[in-house]
Structure 1
Amino acid sequence: MSVDNGGATVTPDGQWTTRVTFYSPSIVRVSKYPGATAPDKKSYSVIMQPESVTLGTERKANGVTLKSSSLTASIGADGNVRFSDSKGNLLLSESASSHAPCVNKVDEGRFKVSQSYNLDSTEVIFGLGQRQSPVLNQRGQDVRMWCGNTNITIPYFTSDKGYGLYWDNAGDSRFTDIDNIASFTSEVAPSIDYYFIYRDGTQDGVIAGIRSLTGEATMFPIWTLGHWQCRERYKSSDELCDVLDRYRALEIPLDGMVQDWQYWGCDSNWNAMKFVNPHYINKMGDAKWMRYLPNDEDPNAVYPDPRIKSPEEMVSYVHDNNSKLMISIWANFGPWTDQYRELDKIGALLPFETWPRNRGVRPYDPFNPKARDIYWKYLTNLYKMGIDAWWTDSTEPDHFEAPGDADYMTHDGSWRSVKNAFALMTNKGIYEHQRKMKGNNRRSVQMTRCGTFGLQHYGTFSWSGDVVSNWNVMKNQIPSGLNYVICGIPFWNTDIGGFFGWDYKNDPKSPA
């Protein structure tokens, strides 16, 4: 047992070392690892470095107690930790932990780890991200932490006692709450690693701790809080601008237009990040460009000459009519794109089947810093054109999982060990690159289909994905959104009419 200025360390005989570190008077990190030296561990969400904290210490035969101005952490001789407020009222105590060597060869040297906590029988907890669940209170839940379209799972919960707990693992994990024992388990980790946050018993205090730990929320421009107009996609510049004209003619307030997919053309040219669809560049009927016509359109159909003849003209038209423009960009690329070829050269394309299927489209590896540089290099084309905001779609990413995919090695480790940070790294890369651009003061605004702890620091929020249009799904968006924002991400959005109309036979005239 040892005590230092920042915390204390206990190594029970024959067991893992427990390390408690005060990052601030209201934030405590708990690490458990084999041996005497903590392993190197990368956190995608946590950016805070430990502050100098004045601690009162008390050594006893059965452990050590550390007190800050906000909370107390006690480490038993068995390595278990208890948290109390400044008056000694128990907030949370550990139950048990476990660790076993990973069985997958690609994760050799790491462990499957678990940590359990004792919850009061009447305690209420919130969080775990945005899931398609009708419940607000997350007690009694069994949740796989593995993000997908419409489900943003975040390994964080907060209690009505006024504390928050973040399980710092970006890989395949699970949360369970059975018989008042709540547990986090991760398939791959160098150590058990989590953060406990408590200031004064209020959620304001917890959220302040999240912002200190993962970064302040960025300020969005005021137009983002207004009315946005979007549909499954606009198929031409004229269609988008005609809708904008109609809003103005009807004097309905409108702050943002959203251009969804296929402005790049066909699926093989997926996410080229430039306007190649002949509708947008006044090239309908030109054989050189008709090969890029979206796959679901008839190349022999007769189309009128466009009123808006270039993407630059479309952007200017939107701005001249007092609106902003968001555009869809994806985390995967078609084989005809320059990005695909350049990313493939450095081994930064993931060999997964993704959407659209059977087109050779592949996700990129955002954990690779060179890949993030390439992503922004091509996105600069749209940025310089004047696009105001990014809709970063499919940042789970879309993935039709096959046996063995979880063993694939990204730049930072196996897919199973990092996947849930995919959205964070993609959006962080865009945000940081845009902030470095000179000569333009536009704020970075990104709406993404996935997310994780700390997303608020990178000009990004999430929407609830491609939800189905029915009343129960709409009802579920309320607890889904509330459990998402309680994780410290202040803004959230949903398709107010849903996205897929399957339940009503895709009939927009259905009374339902």
Structure 2
Amino acid sequence: MKNLKQYYLFLFVILIFFQAAAQENVTKLSDGIEIKIKKPQRNDAAVVRIQVVSNSILHITASPTTTFDTTKSLMLVDLKPTATPFEVISSNENVTLSTANLKATVSIETGEILFKDAAGKTLLKETKGGGKTITGTTLDGKQSYIVKQSFTSETDEALYGLGQHQNGVFNYKGTKVLLSQYNTEVAIPFLVSSKNYGILWDNNSLTKSVDTRDFEKISTLRLYSDKGDKGWLTATYTNKKDPKKVLSRPESFIDYSYIPSLKHLPEGIILENTTVKWEGAFETDFSGEHQFNLWSSGYTNVYIDDKLVAARWRQGWNATNELIRIHLEKGTKHKLKIEWDPLGNESFICFNWSKPLTEVQKNEFAFESEAGQKIDYFFVSGKNIDDVISGYRTLTGKATMMPKWSMGFWQSRERYKTQDEILNTVAEFRKRKIGLDNIVLDWRYWREGQWGSQEFDPERFPDPKGMMKTLHEKYNTKLMISVWAKFYEDTQNYKDLEAKGYILKRNVAENRKDWLGFNNAIYDPFNPDARKEFWKLINKNIYTTGIDAWWMDASEPDVHSNMPPEVRKEMIGNTFLGAAEINYNAFSLMNAKGIYEGQRSVDPNKRIFMLTRSGFAGLQRYAAATWSGDIGSRWEDLNNQIPAGLNFTMSGLPYWTSDIGGFSVETRYENATGETLEEWRELNARWYQYGVFCPLFRAHGQFPYREIYNIAPEDHPAYKSILFYNKLRYRMMPYIYSLIGQTYHNDYTMMRGLPMDFSSDKKVLNIANQFMFGPAILVNPVTEYKKRSRELYLPNTNGWYNFYTSEFLEGGQTITAEAKYEQIPLFVKEGSILPCGPNIEYTSQKSSEPFTIYVYTGKDASFSLYEDENTNYNYEKGKFSNIEFQYNEASKTLTIADRKGSFDGMQKNRVFNIVFIGKNKNSTFNLISNANEGQKVKYNGSKLEVKF
């Protein structure tokens, strides 16, 4: 017994010793814990911090030294010190921090973190050993680091977000996602998991994410020429004008990615006169899914084993990615042929590959940034993806209420050249009674050679204030104007900004001219004084004319197109905040900040609206939306917009759009006739059918002109379809504007990937070409020429009503739906309420027609009708109202609740027309009106009930 007591005493002493040792490595902070890692490896973190932001958000930082960098984040709002209670439990090996919703357990030895929910279910874990790599480097003569954090992912997990990318991928698990701002590519370092958590990576530099391995040159494959020679492909350069002029040579890799790489073309080759073909074969020593990345402009076809696996076109000056995923077997020789027809002397192509992921790699993802002082990320959890996005906005800012007019239709083209063209276009819309709220004035409204003057050319725009007065008062139309962060060296504005040190002038110092032949440079938005000065310029010369909104073009920034990232960083040079690498991705954020703060300082109660070509985490707080850049007018481009837009909105930024019809146009469409003209018309009709269900509904592009009456005559199905969906957009305005209210007040997302609403249905995780528009409408775009049906999946949580016929279908099935020329398949979720307004031609138009409330029965349903003053910031002061509609299936009763809230000019007494749609009832949505159908009820703000 004595020996047993001594033994337990010994164990107790040892336990106390190890707990004391553990305590030496753990420091409790007011908002979390700090852990000094016992056994850091080379290039590892020395210290890890976990700080509590809320019950569902933890802030993780890891430093290579014993101190932490305190540089203020650009993407975050000022976070208040936490009042969230938490507890810390330590053992000799681990320390666990717990909130009401989360547990984070850290290995004291390695710094590895395991995240669990309150019930103990694992949500995410850092890879074994901590997954932290911090490699020293030097920037601007100062110590910097390449920082990487890797995680272990669940096998059945899907990964979304990360901005907007054009390779057609929706679920990014197992793929490479480069977060680097570029025309058509938007980098947002926020990843969302189907397991209901998100990672906000707080780093502004160029970042590789998910699979952070680089693509390899195809020279690392076992190559064969077209004759069977080992070691290369056969490249054949043929003169278009004289096909007998042929140059053939061995090439073991294909990389003409940017302007500098074109010098490697064969001597004497002029691209605009040449077609190129690479032929041969390759072998791989790996079995599994191989990924090939095609980066190209011009016309490109890729064949593997005589099968066409990629067919792309893109304007010569703006290459794009195509990801080819194909299963290949080890040791098998595969034929390869690549055909390239460049467009002009600046066309580009690169073809690389990536070996199959190992089983371990398949279940890992990471972030790796080229510049930082620490690993810095936020773990955001929630009950669903909406909760996770709400956490993102807690960190980076609320999405502002957009002005109601911005939800109407926008007409744009590249470009309206005169004041008369603007006014005549709007007059034609009003004459034809086509819905329109906004017309857009694109670039070069200034005098030639005066880019950055921020002044109208007086010959073409003799009376800007008069133009705006006519647009506003006669036509009830807004105008958005293109403003660039770019200045020609000869402008007075350049000279004034340069004298104050506000210009990033490396581009001018190197005498690099833009595509119009002028020396130019950008201002430095990272400098707060430069932002104020930029606002003063556009306020003085543009905003005072009555302009309604800002189009912040080329906000990547596009300093010199078609240059590799290293050169683009060099052209930016050191900013107010240091080396260009450090904040490479955040230019658009700071640019938008200056405009937002500037306009609110001079016109504090007029809602701001900005459209930017680039975006970054936090942009939503500055009243900014993003569009998908200068995409091509092709069917594959239309198809790729769907996952690009969904991943953008699932990145936490709710407002997104693409150019309806695509921006850049193949030559064959410019003066098309016959079958080519019909294809152009159908492409535009299909794009409008999709575009009406995007957060912003806008047409834009190069010639041919994009106005509905320039696309097709009135009796053509394309015209009829475009007009139908234009009217539908305006009928749905009460629904749409209510979703905008939900976006601000409840962190909602209007354009929704299916995993947001049907996460329990595993079949939706990889569906890239269907989405929800709000809670009610399932949208199924058509992206193939002459396609008159399409296969689609109806999620299994409920039944679905055909939007056009009200036919009821059970969920959980794949169907082939009719997709006639004039319509895309639309379905309404069983248990939905869809409020629709009258037929109007602009959002502020008054009408005596009542709202029609469509109730799709079969399950309980609810919807909150939101209203406010539409164009000002009084909603921030509580001036808005909500009317809750609730349908109870058991009692077959719709309850319209007491109105909550009020605002100036609110309609206190109104009539609602209630239309019930059931499985055995023949009521349908009517584009014109359901005035002669349904039950009309008078509502004065007090609760009432309506029976089905």
Do both proteins adopt the same fold according to a TM-score greater than 0.5, normalized to the shorter chain?
yes
Letter in 2 for 1:347: G
Contact 1:70 1:86 in 2 (8 A): yes
**Distance (whole Å) between structure 1 residues aligned to residue 88 and residue 515 of structure 2:** 58
TM-aligned CA distance change 1:324 to 1:105, over 3 Å: closer
Q: Which residue of 2 aligns with 1:304?
A: none
Distance 1:156 1:357 in 2: 37
Aligned to 1:466, which of 618, 630, 641?
Answer: 630
Distance 1:416 1:61 in 2: 41
| Pairing partner for 2:175 from 105, 129, 141 | 141
Instruction: Give the Cα–Cα distance (whole angstroms) in 2 for the partners of residues 18 and 358 of structure 1.
Output: 52
Higher deviation after alignment, 449-458 or 343-352: 343-352
Distance in 1 between the 2:141 and 2:178 partners?
A: 20
User: Shift in Å at residue 357 of structure 1?
Assistant: 5.2
Q: Does 1:406 align with 2:569?
A: yes
Whether 2:213 is the aligned partner of 1:213: answer no
Structure 2-normalised TM-score?
0.49
Kept in 2: contact 1:339–1:375 (CA 8 A): no
Matches within 5 A, 1:388-407: 388-400=548-560, 401=563, 406-407=569-570
SS at match of 1:247: helix
Matched, 1:278 2:459: yes
Query: Which residue in 1 is equivalent to 2:519?
Result: 360
1:83 aligned partner: 115
Task: Give the deviation of 1:56 after TM superposition.
Answer: 2.1
1:280: how far off? 1.0
Task: Report the secondary structure of 1:420's partner residue.
Answer: coil
Q: Which residue of 2 aligns with 1:299?
A: none
Q: Which residue does the alignment assign to 2:363?
A: 180
The answer as to 2:498 corresponding to 1:344 is yes
Aligned: 1:257 with 2:422: no
Aligned residues: 480
Q: What secondary structure does 2:140 align onto?
A: helix
Query: Separation in 1 of the partners of 2:141 and 2:651?
Result: 29
Q: How many angstroms apart in 2 are the aligned matches of 1:504 and 1:121?
A: 46
Which amino acid letter does the alignment assign opposite residue 132 of structure 2? S
Deviation at 1:80, TM superposition (A): 1.4
Distance in 1 of aligned mates of 2:672 and 2:62 = 55
Of 21, 29, 33, the match for 1:8: 33
Q: Aligned pair in 2 of structure 1 residues 371, 380: CA closer, same or farther (>3 Å)?
A: same
Instruction: Name the structure 1 match of 2:90.
Output: 59
Instruction: Tell me by how many angstroms 1:112 deviates.
Output: 0.8
Match of 1:30 among 30, 49, 60: 60
The 1:492–1:405 alpha-carbon spacing in structure 2 relative to 1, beyond 3 Å, is closer
Give the Cα separation in 1 of the matches to 2:518 and 2:445.
17
Paired residue secondary structure (2:445):
coil
From 605, 614, 617, the equivalent of 1:450 is 614
Distance 1:167 1:354 in 2: 36
CA contact (8 A) 1:127 1:486 kept: yes
CA 26–507 in structure 1, closer or farther in 2 if over 3 Å, else same: farther
Cα pair 2:631 2:664 within 8 Å, conserved: yes
Question: What's the offset of the Cα at 1:347?
Answer: 2.7
Paired position in structure 2 for 1:418: 583
Match of residue 595, structure 2, among 414, 430, 440: 430
| 2:412 paired residue number | 230
Deviations 1:159-212 (A, max 9, x none): 01100101111111111334211011111101110111013x211211111111
Instruction: Report if the CA contact (8 A) 1:48-1:212 is conserved.
Output: no
Larger deviation: 56-65 or 162-171? 56-65
Report how far residue 13 of structure 1 moved: 3.2
Stretch of structure 1 that moved more, 332-341 or 482-491: 332-341
CA contact (8 A) 2:521 2:559 kept: no
Counterpart of 2:362 in structure 1: which amino acid?
Answer: D
CA distance in 1, matches of 2:668, 2:92: 67
**Shift of residue 247, structure 1, vs aligned partner:** 0.4
SS in 2 for 1:487: coil
TM-score (norm: length of structure 1)? 0.90
Work out whether residues 139 and 579 of structure 2, in 8 Å CA contact, stay in contact via their aligned partners in 1. Answer: no
Counterparts of 1:75 and 1:492 in 2: how far apart (Å)? 39
Q: Name the counterpart of 2:247.
A: none
Q: Kindly provide the CA deviation profile for residues 265-304 of structure 1, in whole angstroms up to 9, marking residues without a partner as x.
A: 21x21132221252112xxxxxxxxxxxxxxxxxxxxxxx
Return the offset for 1:128: 1.0
Q: CA deviation at 1:19?
A: 0.5
Give the aligned partner of residue 468 of structure 2: 315
**How far apart, in 2, do the equivalents of 1:158 and 1:484 lie?**
11
Aligned counterpart for 2:51 among listed residues 21, 28, 42: 21
Whether the aligned pair in 2 keeps the contact of 1:339 and 1:374 (CA below 8 Å) is no
Q: Residue 71 of structure 2: which of 41, 48, 51 is its match? A: 41
Q: Secondary structure at the match of 1:233?
A: coil
Percent identity (aligned): 36
- Structure 2 residues not aligned, in runs of 5+: 1-25, 41-45, 212-360, 680-948
Find out whether 1:502 has 2:656 as its counterpart. Answer: no
Q: Distance in 2 between matches of 1:163 and 1:392?
A: 32
Is the 8 Å Cα contact of residues 462 and 493 (structure 1) preserved in structure 2?
yes
Partner SS state of residue 409, structure 1: coil
Q: 1: distance between equivalents of 2:100 and 2:671?
A: 60
User: How big is the shift at 1:335?
Assistant: 2.1
| Matched-pair contact (CA < 8 Å) for 1:396–1:449 | yes
Residue 506 to residue 23, structure 1, CA distance change in 2 (3 Å): same
> Corresponding residue for 2:485?
331
Distance, in Å, in 2 between the alignment partners of 1:24 and 1:107 is: 38
Is the partner of 1:254 in helix, strand or coil? coil
Q: Which has the higher contact order (CA 8 A, sep 6+)?
A: 1
Deviations 1:112-139 (A, max 9, x none): 1111000012100101101102121111
Deviations 1:424-477 (A, max 9, x none): 000011001111115x63211000000011111000010001111000001100
Corresponding residue for residue 651 of structure 2:
487
3-state DSSP of counterpart to 2:503: coil
1:4 deviation in Å? 2.7
CA separation in 2, counterparts of 1:475 and 1:162? 27
SS in 1 for 2:670: coil
In structure 2, do the counterparts of structure 1 residues 496 and 32 end up closer, same or farther at CA, with 3 Å as the change threshold? same
2: CA distance, partners of 1:405 / 1:495: 26
Please give the per-residue CA displacement for 1:344-369, whole angstroms capped at 9, x wherever unaligned.
Answer: 11332222357445311211111011
Displacement of 1:502: 2.6
* CA spacing shift, 1:174–1:386, aligned 2, 3 Å: same
Larger Rg: 2
Give RMSD over aligned pairs: 1.7
SS at match of 2:547: coil
Deviations 1:83-103 (A, max 9, x none): 11111111111111111111x
1:355–1:398 CA contact under 8 A, matched in 2: no
Q: Which residue number corresponds to residue 544 of structure 2?
A: 384
CA distance in 2, matches of 1:114, 1:44: 20
| Cα distance in 1 between the residues matched to 2:159 and 2:139 | 37
